[in-house]
Amino acid sequence: MSLGIDENDTSFVVLISTSDSKQKKQIENTPNTAPKKAKPYSVVPQPFSNRELSFWGQYGIMPELLKTYKIVSLREFKSENSEGKPFTFHSTDNEPIFGYQAKRHIKIYRPFSDVRFLYGGLLPDNYCFGLEQLPSKSDTLFVAGGEKDVLSLAAKGFNAICFNSETSYIPPHLIKKLSYRFKHIVLLYDVDKTGLESSQKHAQGLADLGVKRLVLPLQGTKQEKDISGYFKLGNIRENFMQLFIEFLDNLYSETMAILKPCEIDFSTPPIQMEMLVSINDVPLGTQGNLLGITGGEGTGKSNFVGALIASTICESNVQNIDTLGTNIQANTEKQAILLYDTEQSETQLYKNISGILRRGKSENMPPYFKAYCLTSMSRKERMQAIVQSMDKFYYQFGGIQMVVIDGIADLVRCANDEAESVGVIDELYRLAGIYKTCIVCVLHFVPNGLKLRGHLGSELQRKAAAILSIEKDENPQISVVKALKVRDGSPLDVPLVQFSWNKDLEMHTYIGEKPKEEKEKRKETELMSVSKTIFANQRFCTYVDLCE
């Protein structure tokens, strides 16, 4: 860069003055910072002989790969020793010379000679062979013990690099950069004493960067100690891949053991979950799932879920229970029925329970039916109370038939808090699966009446087996039950159920299904409602916005 800096001039290097003890320690621990001098050298390249190609070929390394990694055959190599005396090596059939070329240096490899490795030029402190040949991104990177191992792995389609030797320092900053490009970085050193000790040391030092260690199943002798020898023994890519898979099995043994029971065995079908709530034989509430009930203010949501509960608490000899058009499985085992109300007052909840008992033709509240008004609790306490009481009643009554949470929005601080909403729905879904019950979740619509409320509603819509919407009809005295989502079947297979208030019986009663013409017109009516809302304040809408 024309800065006029002389590599040999160290006059500008100064020692910062510190306290005597610190200064002494700093001097003791400071390596020799004298600049390295480039070793003069000269080489005479030559074409690879058949014998030399045969040497590389036994490891599966072809001429194209040698060219890619800038490996050359040398007739002659000249340089100087540490004392400045010149020396020369000549290639022979029995002692070939190979060179790993770089811009400012060359590393000499003499596989059959006493002096196997030599250097010429200026070898960098963090010498790394194979770095330039790596892809921008891939799954696995092996850190091998030497250049020949890198080439052997590359010949089999694996990404690999090596440093100057197995005992060389591995710079963490380089590993950190490579960790962004590769899922796994694995040390694959020789299985002799030096290799095992070095790989163990490096693996411990680089554990925070996710570096792992793979030990080859070899004897550790001179002919059988590295990955090159592994392939030379006749092992192919598939053998090494199987070895790596076993390495991952060991690495993820705990996770895989936990995951094993979750694996679907197609030859052994899972236990069929019982259908607890249905309309027209379409399953809405099943064991291990959530059922969402939504609607606006005053549409009759609480009375509808009350009808679901009434059918589960009535005695088996009682007939003609009005379940507002739904089919409910009888609670013959007298399992727990739990109602948690987070919205209404204690007085209103007492009134609702009276209506449930009257509908179920039960004079007294069964001991397995538990109802709680949670309005006086904090939101965090409510969720804890639900989780712990469900656990207790599950064992006390030999199971839980149904759980109703009237107002799940009051279990979170904000229905638009994504993390909190996901956490609550995940926990409820988990509890439904553990206790093999159906958890009915009541949630309001947003004011425009088009979607469930906030992130909480979106998450419920994803996880629930079915979503039922209770809306007022054109006649405000009548409420209509619509299926917005059904996991097992189509929402259009669920008829539009109607119910209204009966003054004589002092409760809502089923008044039949909407006419077939209304059912066929339902899609058009809903789309018109959506379009009127969208275009109330605008004339144009993009495709993406329209989808949303």
Q: What are phi and psi of 69, to 5 degrees?
A: -95, 10
Q: Which whole number is the average pLDDT over 214-228? A: 89
Predicted local distance difference test score (pLDDT) of residue 520? 65
Predicted local distance difference test score (pLDDT) of residue 17? 47
| Chain centroid to CA 59 | 38
| Chain centroid to CA 537 | 41
Q: Among 163-172, 378-387, 417-426, 439-448, which is the least confidently predicted range?
A: 439-448
| Better-scored residue on pLDDT, 273 or 190 | 190
Which domains does the chain show, CATH number per domain?
41-121 (no CATH), 128-249 (3.40.1360.10), 282-514 (3.40.50.300)
Q: Across 50-54, 265-269, 301-305, which has the greatest mean pLDDT? A: 50-54
Q: What are phi and psi of 196, to 5 degrees?
A: -65, -45
- Please determine, for residue 22, whether its predicted confidence score (pLDDT) is greater than 80: no
Q: What confidence tens digit (pLDDT) does each residue in 29-76 have? A: 544 555 667 889 999 999 999 999 999 999 999 999 999 999 999 999
- Please determine, for residue 9, whether its predicted confidence score (pLDDT) is greater than 80: no
| Better-scored residue on pLDDT, 103 or 172 | 172
Q: Which whole number is the average pLDDT over 402-422? A: 87
Q: Which whole number is the average pLDDT over 326-337? A: 89
Which residues lie closer than 8 Å to 384 by C-beta, 6 or more apart?
none
Q: What confidence tens digit (pLDDT) does each residue in 500-522 have? A: 888 888 888 888 888 767 666 76
- Please determine, for residue 28, whether its predicted confidence score (pLDDT) is greater than 60: no
Predicted local distance difference test score (pLDDT) of residue 337? 93
- Please determine, for residue 19, whether its predicted confidence score (pLDDT) is greater than 50: no
The candidate with the shortest Cα–Cα distance to 461, out of 294, 304, 341, 274, is 294
Q: What confidence tens digit (pLDDT) does each residue in 274-298 have? A: 888 888 888 888 888 999 998 887 7
- What span, in angstroms and rounded, lies between the C-alpha atoms of 285 and 64? 64
The candidate with the shortest Cα–Cα distance to 35, out of 6, 7, 11, is 7
Predicted local distance difference test score (pLDDT) of residue 18? 44
Q: What are phi and psi of 543, to 5 degrees?
A: -60, -45
Helices (H) and strands (E) in the chain, counts: 16, 23
Q: Across 282-286, 395-399, 456-460, 521-525, which has the greatest mean pLDDT? A: 395-399
Residue type, 386: I
Q: Among 73-77, 264-268, 287-291, 496-500, which is the least confidently predicted range?
A: 264-268
Predicted local distance difference test score (pLDDT) of residue 368? 93
Task: Give the pLDDT band of residue 176 (cuts 50, 70, 90).
Answer: very high
The candidate with the shortest Cα–Cα distance to 421, out of 430, 431, 411, is 411
Specify the pTM: 0.64
- What span, in angstroms and rounded, lies between the C-alpha atoms of 439 and 207? 44
Predicted local distance difference test score (pLDDT) of residue 100? 94
The tally of CA atoms less than 13 A away on the side-chain side of residue 327 is 12
Percent of the chain clearing pLDDT 90 (strictly above): 45
- What span, in angstroms and rounded, lies between the C-alpha atoms of 228 and 109? 15
The candidate with the shortest Cα–Cα distance to 40, out of 4, 92, 82, 9, is 82
Q: What confidence tens digit (pLDDT) does each residue in 355-365 have? A: 888 888 888 88
Radius of gyration of the chain (CA): 38
Q: Which residues pair with 440 in a beta bridge?
A: 291, 404
Predicted local distance difference test score (pLDDT) of residue 27? 40
Contact 213, 201 (CB under 8 A): no
The candidate with the shortest Cα–Cα distance to 411, out of 369, 460, 362, is 460
Percent of the chain clearing pLDDT 70 (strictly above): 90
Q: Which residues pair with 328 in a beta bridge?
A: 277
Contact 225, 192 (CB under 8 A): yes
Predicted local distance difference test score (pLDDT) of residue 7? 63
The mean pLDDT of the chain is 86
